[in-house]
C-alpha cells in the first residue's frame, strides 16, 4: 500500500510526468534530450510498471519536472518539481530515521552477542582449565621446517645413482 504524506494523496510521479509532458506539448525524445535519459527510459517512467528500469526515482522525476518547466508556461511543472523536492526531503528524513533505528538495534544485538561470548569463554575456562605447559603448544602451532638436502644425498643433483 502506498505511503501517504500528511493528508495529501500518494505521490505518483509516473502519472504526473505523462500528464505534464502532454500538457506542455513536449515529446518523449525531447524530454530525454533535456534530462539525459533515453526515449525508452521516459516511456518506462510514464508507464510506471514494476519491471527493471520502469520505476522512477524521485530524483529522476525532479530532473524531468525541471526539464518540463523550461517549456511550461502554466507553472504546473514547477509545482510538480517543488512537490517532488519536498517529497524527496521528507523521504530522506524518514530514511535517516529508519537507518538510525536499524543501527541502534544492531548495536544492541552486538552488545548482547559480546556479553554472551564473554560468558561462554568464562564458562569454558572454568570447565576446561589448562596447564601452563599446554599453553606453549596452543600459542604457536607446529610449523613445517624447511627441508634442505645435500646435493650428494639420494635424489640430489650430484648423486651418481640418480
pLDDT category of residue 20 using cuts at 50, 70 and 90: confident
Q: What is the mean pLDDT of residues 3-17?
A: 56
> Domains in the chain, start-ordered, CATH in brackets?
13-91 (1.10.260.40)
Q: Where are the beta strands (DSSP E) in 16-125?
A: none
Nearest to 67, CA basis, from 13, 24, 38 = 24
The H helix count followed by the E strand count for the chain is: 6, 0
User: Cα(123)–Cα(138) distance, rounded to whole angstroms?
Assistant: 19
pLDDT in tens, 39-54: 888 888 888 755 554 4
pLDDT category of residue 90 using cuts at 50, 70 and 90: confident
User: Cα(8)–Cα(12) distance, rounded to whole angstroms?
Assistant: 11
Least confident of 75-84, 107-116, 141-150: 141-150
Asked whether residue 8 carries a pLDDT value surpassing 50, the answer given is no
User: Cα(3)–Cα(151) distance, rounded to whole angstroms?
Assistant: 81
Cβ proximity of 35 and 63 under 8 Å: yes
Least confident of 15-29, 61-75, 76-90: 76-90
Nearest to 58, CA basis, from 90, 33, 99 = 90
Amino acid at each position: 500500500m502506498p505511503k501517504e504524506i500528511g493528508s495529501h494523496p500518494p505521490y505518483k510521479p509516473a502519472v504526473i510526468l505523462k500528464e505534464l509532458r502532454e500538457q506542455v506539448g513536449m515529446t518523449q525524445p525531447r524530454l530525454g534530450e533535456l534530462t539525459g535519459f533515453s526515449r525508452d527510459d521516459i516511456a518506462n517512467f510514464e508507464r510506471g510498471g514494476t519491471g527493471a528500469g520502469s520505476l522512477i526515482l524521485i530524483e529522476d522525476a525532479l530532473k524531468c519536472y525541471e526539464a518540463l518547466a523550461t517549456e511550461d508556461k502554466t507553472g504546473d511543472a514547477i509545482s510538480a518539481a517543488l512537490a517532488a523536492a519536498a517529497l524527496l526531503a521528507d523521504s530522506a528524513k524518514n530514511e535517516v530515521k529508519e537507518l538510525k533505528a536499524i543501527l541502534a538495534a544492531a548495536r544492541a544485538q552486538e552488545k548482547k552477542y559480546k556479553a554472551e561470548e564473554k560468558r561462554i569463554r568464562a564458562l569454558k575456562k572454568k570447565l576446561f582449565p589448562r596447564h601452563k605447559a599446554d599453553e606453549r603448544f596452543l600459542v604457536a602451532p607446529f610449523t613445517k621446517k624447511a627441508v634442505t638436502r645435500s646435493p650428494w644425498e639420494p635424489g640430489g643433483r650430484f648423486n651418481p645413482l640418480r
